[in-house]
Amino acid sequence: MKVYIATPYGFCSGVKKSISLAEKILSLKGEVYTLGALVHNPKVIEELSKKGIKVLGKDEIAEGKALIVRAHGLPQRDIDFYKSLGNEIYDATCPLVKKVQVLAEYLKNNKYKVIIIGEKNHPEVIGILSYTDNQGIVIEYESDIEKVEYYPKIGVVFQTTQSFDNAIQKVNLIMNKGKEIRIFNTICPETIERQEKAKKLSKIVDVALVLGGKNSANTRRLYITLSLKVPTYHIENLEEIDKNWFKEDSKVGIITGTSTPNNFVEEVLALLKSLYPLEIHLV
């Protein structure tokens, strides 16, 4: 069986930074809580929890604790609220997400109607929107654009994990909604790279495995890209893999979301190796 692994795989730089900050604070304080899941991957959250990095429960009282802001960021008012309760806040917001928050605030302060192209209920988008005092407009579907009025000044930013193709399609439809339109490409380069690798893989393989959390936006996008071309399975746990998907002469593609640990790739490879001899290629 030939296996094609899209590189880079495993955690992106933002997730690595968040986890290493959380581990550092844990070693200093002995106890640390994250405000929302640190990353969108249940396996990773479970492993962090075993180490002592726990997600603050909805009903838990956060007073005098060490709290971590997750990689996707949080609305500023939430951070202020937790600070007011005497908690120590450590900001693990990915610098690329922070950049979108800063841009959104800048555009709002300069009288632009801020348009965020992204998923309405995604924590990153909710956070970015808060920097427009919740006066921005989130465009998730093309139908959302029909409702947008005409504004003299529009500033457009993207959720960092949007696919480039999807973002451009929406931007084209926004072009007649304003007189002056400023567009900031805030899509994360690491996300774009993985999207490109997904397209490349789809031309090589005859079955693809997308490894990562089902709640991870960038992983879902990789799944969509590949599934348009080849049979594709979005795998969160090893147990979800069905051996009947593969034959001895299969060409299997493997790609990970940005919050998928390296060891999951190794586990999948070990499973495939138990079925057939492997010839591994990096793409």
Catalytic residues: 124
Residue 71's identity, in one-letter code, is A
Query: Binding segment for ligand SF4 among 20-28, 185-193, 235-243, 261-269 (CB under 6 A)?
Result: 185-193
Find where tokens 């990789």 sit: 222
DSSP state of 136: S
Query: Binding segment for ligand SF4 among 170-178, 187-195, 233-241, 246-254 (CB under 6 A)?
Result: 187-195
CB of 8 to ligand SF4, least distance (A): 11
β-pairing, 251-256 with 2-5?
Answer: parallel
Residue 256's identity, in one-letter code, is T
Of 104, 105, 65, 102, give the one whose Cα is nearest residue 82. Answer: 65
Regarding 92 and contact with ligand SF4 (CB under 6 A), the answer is no
Give the residue with the Cβ less far from ligand SF4, 101 or 132. 101
Query: Binding segment for ligand SF4 among 78-86, 94-102, 175-183, 220-228 (CB under 6 A)?
Result: 94-102
Residue of closest CB approach to ligand SF4: 14
CB of 49 to ligand SF4, least distance (A): 20
Length of the chain: 283
User: What is the maximum span of the chain, computed from C-alpha positions, in angstroms?
Assistant: 62
Regarding 190 and contact with ligand SF4 (CB under 6 A), the answer is yes
Cβ contact 196:161 at 8 Å: no
Cβ contact 72:160 at 8 Å: no
Sorted by sequence, the CB contacts under 8 Å of residue 217 that are 6+ apart come out as 40, 119, 122, 124, 159, 161
Regarding 13 and contact with ligand SF4 (CB under 6 A), the answer is yes
Query: Binding segment for ligand SF4 among 56-64, 84-92, 183-191, 196-204 (CB under 6 A)?
Result: 183-191
CB of 96 to ligand SF4, least distance (A): 4
Residue 5, φ and ψ in degrees, nearest 5: -105, 120
Give the residue with the Cβ less far from ligand SF4, 118 or 136. 118
The only residue of 15, 21, 104, 211 in contact with ligand SF4, by rule CB under 6 A: 15
Structure token digits, residue 57 = 């429960």
Cβ contact 160:186 at 8 Å: yes
CB of 256 to ligand SF4, least distance (A): 12
CB of 124 to ligand SF4, least distance (A): 8
CA-derived radius of gyration, the chain: 20
Size of the site for ligand SF4 (CB under 6 A): 15
The only residue of 191, 219, 225, 256 in contact with ligand SF4, by rule CB under 6 A: 191
CB atoms within 10 A of CB 184: 15
Regarding 94 and contact with ligand SF4 (CB under 6 A), the answer is yes
The only residue of 6, 12, 69, 125 in contact with ligand SF4, by rule CB under 6 A: 12
Regarding 37 and contact with ligand SF4 (CB under 6 A), the answer is no
The packing angle between helices 189-204 and 217-227, to 10°, is 30
Interacting residue ranges for ligand SF4, rule: CB under 6 A: 12-15, 71, 94, 96-97, 160-161, 188, 190-191, 218, 258
